[in-house]
Amino acid sequence: MLIRTIEKFLREHNMPATKFGRLAAHDPRFVLDLRMGRTPRPATQSRIEHFMNEYKSALGGQVHA
């Protein structure tokens, strides 16, 4: 489930949900909406997953907890 993956990402990188939403989806409410039950389109989900993979890759796999 995408929200679980995002929540784990937020904890690992100590990132606020609104910042993640702005960076990954250009929507600061994105994570908040997911928490309330929003279901993203497949293309949006792919874009979010790509963002998380690229972010981790740019950090060299470092975890910032």
Q: What angle do CA 54, 47, 32 make, to 5 degrees?
A: 100
CA 12 to chain centre: 11
47 occurs within a structural domain: yes
Task: Give the C-alpha separation, 29 to 22, whole Å.
Answer: 8
For residue 64, name the pLDDT band (cuts at 50, 70, 90). low
pLDDT, tens only, 17-56: 999 999 999 999 999 999 999 999 999 999 999 999 999 9
52 occurs within a structural domain: yes
6 occurs within a structural domain: yes
Amino acid at 52: M
User: What pTM does this model have?
Assistant: 0.88
Mean pLDDT of 49-64: 85
Task: Give the C-alpha separation, 33 to 37, whole Å.
Answer: 6
Task: Give the C-alpha separation, 60 to 5, whole Å.
Answer: 19
16 occurs within a structural domain: yes
65 occurs within a structural domain: no
43 occurs within a structural domain: yes
Domain with 40 in it: 2-58
64 occurs within a structural domain: no
User: Could you give the number of structural domains in the chain?
Assistant: 1
What pLDDT score was predicted for residue 65? 53
